[in-house]
Structure 1
Amino acid sequence: MSNLLEIDNLKVGFKNSSSQWTNAVDGVSIAVRPGEILGIVGESGCGKSVTMFSVLKLHDQRNTRYAGEIRFEDTELLTVPEKDMRQLRGKDIGFIFQNPMSSLNPLLTIGQQIRETVTSHRKHLPKKEVEALCIKALDDAGADDSAVWMSKYPYQLSGGMLQRVVIAIALVNEPKLLIADEPTTALDVTIQAQLLKVLCHIRDERGMSIVLITHDMGVVAETCDRVAVMYLGQIVETASVDELFANPRHPYTQGLLAATPPMVGKIPERLNTISGSVPQLSEVAKGCRFASRCPFASQECLSGDIPMFDVDEQHQSRCIKFNTIPDFRKVTA
């Protein structure tokens, strides 16, 4: 089965105030399969959102440069005209933004905003059908009284309700791919669990693909089929969720897992931490980008760019010692 989305050697650079370019994403390659939930996980600033914003070309095009390829079905997205890109956004590819309050218009009702998403792509659809689609989208997103919600303004709804609204807007045109950027940020754990359950149910019901951007390894474990771990603009490990949690083969992945509170049993008084801090992109040297923080680093890790190695057919790691490093979680326990 062919991939729905393929990102190949993507580089995304931004121009700073001194007119110098810095690559926030550097050589990312990843594929999204039909019907799967792919998690992209890493610390804030690692390039997760930049990578997926590039799929829809949502960056300021005057100060952004791209290299590589992004293919959605048979369309090369980095070269597609903006007119065609507008047809893809919100129709074939839905996007859930991180902060629903900033992505909704406070002066328009919820109904007006969902209707606009439908009519911008299906201009000649009868009003009754538009209304039915909007109600169904809210129902699917878990609204308890969709008809009432349609008449509300954003300020009249809670954070959890607003997140359901932006999910409904992303789903109303039944996209083939849904990109969810930290969809549970700042929500309590009960609402988080409900929203993640909604996403999983929609995937199962519609067979759509979902890319879930998160920094929460617990969310990945509960929701995703596969996961890509990012660090400082690069993917450092990819695997199925079960394989990654059982046998992480990159020290950064091991460090993230070691710093995650256990889901069962007693929570330790102190969680493990990853030593040091993330370097500035302008300070990145040759070799492994994690080397300055890695307990297993040696001189050979600094000798040149590190490729992705096959741990097995479905598991890759950007570590030259992937076969020999001990489990960081046990070393730091």
Structure 2
Amino acid sequence: MRKKLISILNEYYKIPYIISKIFKIDSDNFVNKEMQINCMVAEEYTDKYVTYRLRPKRELEIPIINIEKNPNKIAIVLQGPLMLADNFTVESALFYKRCYPDAFIIVSTWNDADEDVLRILKNKGVEVVVSQLPSAPGHLNINYQVVSTLAGIRKAKEMGADYVCKTRTDQRLYHPNALNYLWNLVKLFPVNNEDFQHDQSERFVSVCMPYGDMFYPYCISDFLYFGFIDDIEKMFLIPQDNREKGKGGKGMTRRNIAQNLIAPEIQIIRSYIDSMGGNSECTVEAYWKFMKNHVISINRDEIGLFWPKYENRYSENRHFGYFYQKERKDAWNCYNFDFIHWLSLYNSTIKYDSKYEQYADYVL
């Protein structure tokens, strides 16, 4: 009954948009009015405040101004399979070209990618790197990420880049000055190598996500890394994973997931720490020390990171911790390493306590 009702509602909500298209009503004004009405009705009949956000699909609709260029050579590497819907990968790459005319924009994808799309990218001045798909995907496709990322980073080094922003072909950074923001963060917060045998050149920036929190050892998002190019390259110099593709760690404790390298993001970080002669022990204490000394962690909204995948993308409160979800009553789920919490850790206004270890032993 519930599915049938949702299906009927889906068809019903299409009607105003079909009519607006027929009569060529200005789409932005129409969507704004429609969304406002929906929000107002939802607020009237529930105990929630509801807001919305519009994001242009086409890069030319996003206004930018020319600002002082960054004096460093920076590359943006979009890695992964091309996202063809709405020309998403192409529009993202062209947006970056417009925002950062002096940066190297590189799309690192597979040799079976759509040739017409690759040609468009090349004609627009985007560097294209194609790789052979690994013979085995590895656990949760980690080999795919490693191969395409390394290929893009090595092309960036070949082009002379000093810094690299590793992102994905199916994600977009909407903030038109995100690159300078990331670079400024790295310059403001020097790395502390006291716990590493081999020096990390500078901190790297990562983006927090709701599936990984402050008590889930090393589960920081692998969507985006920004930093000195040699440091980011070292993060991906990991051996091929020969495990079956497998599934996530449902039913396991978060500590066990970290210990068994179930999640690719954890595997990347723990492998990196080991290669640098650091402590990758799966404790909240060791995790926090690494975050405090070597990383800068921010919220995705600060750089306008958008990921048009999965249905829960429509619920933005899910992107910033489950603060407002009745089904998630455990407060520790709400504490991610956004910039507020990371800065508190950095300045020791949040301090480690052994009682926090219990949260790593909760089942996912």
TM-score (norm 1): 0.31
Point out which structure has higher relative CO (alpha carbons under 8 A, 6+ apart).
1
More helix, by proportion: 2
Would you tell me which structure has more strand in proportion to its own residues?
1
